[in-house]
Structures are given as structure tokens and as C-alpha cells.
Structure 1
């Protein structure tokens, strides 16, 4: 759903997507889940691969995953708005430091499913400022909401300048 839901919102339900898509499945369900640092490094590697391509490309890199939420156990229904918004702030301003946050902090502050946020670091690792080839990204859109589904939802669109 991290790919198909946004694609359906953008394009409806066509027989085929009108753009080329390369999905990356990131395990955030079974141990061992990747660290934020590993996801951040994957984003950097994706950027290098794109830059090595011979033809000019227009590329979007999405990092998807629910924000704070826990679906089971005594903390079911957990939402941490403050932590989620701080995560967005740090993703923009200090992604390399954010990549060092250990799994236990995600679980403690954002719930057992909040570990999904490490996937956002893949997209952030691919940005020009991380590669040292541009200034901090432009924040084109930022949104945070807690719908009735007990999963905090955030949108962040960053553009290289």
C-alpha cells in the first residue's frame, strides 16, 4: 500500500502506470529491520546510480511508511504528534543525525509500527544537499494529520534547489 495508494491518488486506476516505477521493498516487519543509517545509505546509493545513467532523467524518490502508530498490545492506538513533527523537522534539517536514531527510540516514541519511518530516510539520502552538490532542499509541501485509522499521516515534499 506504500506504493499503490499514492500512485492511485496521482493517476487514478489505469491499466498501466503512466510512469516507470522501480519499487524497493524494505522489511520493517520481521527482525532484523534495517537501521535508519542503512536506509539513508541506500538513498545515497540510489542517487549515485541515477547520476551514472547516460541519458537525462526526471526522477522522484518516495519514502513511505506510517508515522507514529501501534496496532496491538497495551499501547494500541499510540500516536505521538510531537515526536512525528520533530521527525519531519529533523528529516529536513539534520537527516544524517536522524539516521543515527536507534530502533528502540522509534518503538518507544512512535510505537511498534513507527519503525516504518526509517524508509523515509531512503528518499532523504538521495537529496542533493546530502551528496554535497546543492543547498538544503526546498520544502514544497508539509502536512500532518491523525485520521480515524489510528495511524499518524505525514506528507513531506522536498525538492532539490
Structure 2
């Protein structure tokens, strides 16, 4: 049977991908950030997932304000890096797993989650930067990916609790898949930041660290956060943290925190990363 063996949350800051792509990861500004990624890369190599479900948000690359699904599963064999106005990012195409993705779609709809389905979809920095965070710059990504796009851009966004419950349903759906697969779930976005308005550049380390703590200790508290509280405490783009709750919900009751990293600033954003193991300790 398929099983979820690990989960992680990470920021998907576009400047991180740009620094790697331009060969700037070793300069004074970016060096401590990429040094913080190294243990996460060793961790995921040890996890060795057969497939990853990556929860991210599209940034007007595949969708627009005229068509904004709440939850979208990518069912394709392959997903190309999106052109976000300066050409496609020069990273490998993302290979999919349509068999597991279709099974997830069927089971989630059966549990009354109204999922949109994408048979063709370009994926932008929201998905490719996390792959770079965990995998570096390989010639091919080391595992297939099922993209799960969540609307965090246009009101009304799904609630934190709805995202947690979606993750729990994903956990049940993976466990009901007959093929023997090791599955990782990665939630992306955040942490505290705002890109516009009077609070542009805001940073709330107290909120960020409490969020990281309660992903381990009290995820139900986080599921109770409303939209106003999230925006007030973490900024308008801090809303992206609801995608980490999809990941956390999928992991069940007792994952073990394996690694944590936090850094500010990364571009104009607080960067966070947390990793969980779900298998028995060796």
C-alpha cells in the first residue's frame, strides 16, 4: 500500500530560485540561506520518496483572476516550468504521476472536496523553487510530483481548517492506493510577509516561530486561525501558510520534527522551513 513517509513546509520565494539559477548561492547575502537548505537536502535524500505531493499557489501563470479554482490537482504526465514574464525558468520539467493523482481526485471528490482537475498546467516558482530548495540543481528532479494548487490570491480563500481537513483526506486517499509508494507531502509559501500597501516589508518573527512550534505541538490551534488573523499577524501574503496546513493534515497525529530553519531577510520575506518524519525511528 502507498504511505505518507514524510512532510515538509517551505517558503517559495522567487528570488531564491533566481539566486540559484544565476550562480549567486555562494555570495555573502545568499550563502547562509543555502547553507540552511543543506540539511533539508540530506534529509529528503534519506527519505527517498517515490512521489511528492506539492501544495502551492499559482501566481497568475496557469490561472487568472477571471478563473481561480479553490483546489486544483494536476493529473498530467508532465508539467513545464511557467513563463512568468522573463522566459521559462531553466530547470527540469516536472514529471507527474497521473495514476496516483487520479486516485486522489476520485477519493477527494468522494469525500465531498470539489477538486478542479488539470490535464495540462504550467507550474511557476511556487512549485519549482521548493524543488530547488530540497533538490538543488539536478539534471532531472529525483521524484515525480503531483501539483496541488490552492487559491490564496483571490477572496474568498479556503479556511485554515478546510486546508487541514483536505490534508487529512489526502492521507486517507494515499493509504487506500494499492501500489507500494513512499509519498512525501510538501506545503509551500510564507512565512510572514507583505508585498504592497502601507505594511509592505512587514515581518513578524514571533508569529512565525509560534506557527512552526504549533505545526508540531498544536496544529488544531493553527487550523482555527481565521483569514483576518492571518493577514493581521503574517501579512497579506502570509495567507500562504494555509498551504502548510494541507501538508500537516496529511501527516496524521504524531510526525517527528526532523529539521527546522528560519532566516530573515530573504528578498523581503521571512524564510521558513520545517521537515517531519512519519516512519518509525530506526
Which residue is equivalent to 1:138?
256
Cα distance in 1 between the residues matched to 2:192 and 2:216:
18
Per the alignment, residue 176 of structure 2 pairs with 52
Secondary structure at the counterpart of residue 128 of structure 1: coil
Q: Which 5+ residue runs of structure 1 have no aligned equivalent?
A: 130-135
Counterpart for residue 154 of structure 1: 272
> Hey, what's the Cα distance between the residues in 2 that align with 1:153 and 1:146?
6
Matching residue of 1:123: 247
Contact 1:40 1:99 in 2 (8 A): yes
Count of residue pairs brought into register by the alignment: 154
Q: How many Å apart are 1:11 and its aligned residue?
A: 4.9
Normalized per residue, the structure richer in strand is 2
* Structure 1: 4+ residue segments shifted above 6 A: none
Q: In structure 2, which of residues 97, 116, 137 is the aligned counterpart of residue 12 of structure 1?
A: 137
Relative CO higher for 1 or 2, CA cutoff 8 Å, sep ≥ 6? 2
Shift in Å, 1:17: 3.1
CA-to-aligned-CA distance 1:62-105 (integer Å, 9 cap, x gap): 01011000111111110000000001111111112210111111
Q: Identify if the C-alpha distance between structure 1 residues 40 and 148 changes in structure 2 by more than 3 Å, giving closer, same or farther.
A: closer
- Evaluate the alpha carbon distance shift between residue 86 and residue 45 of structure 1 in structure 2; reply closer, same or farther with a 3 A threshold: same
Deviations, residues 26-52 of structure 1 (Å, cap 9, x unaligned): 111011111111110111111111100
Q: Are residues 1:80 and 2:204 paired?
A: yes
User: RMSD of aligned C-alpha atoms?
Assistant: 1.3
2:256/2:277 contact within 8 Å kept: yes
1:63 to 178, 184, 187: 187
TM-score, with structure 1 as normaliser: 0.90
> Given the alignment, which residue of 94, 98, 104 partners 2:222?
98
For residue 13 of structure 1, report the CA deviation from its aligned partner. Answer: 4.7
TM (normalized to structure 2)? 0.53
Query: Highest CA radius of gyration, 1 or 2?
Result: 2
Tell me what 1:30 maps to. 154
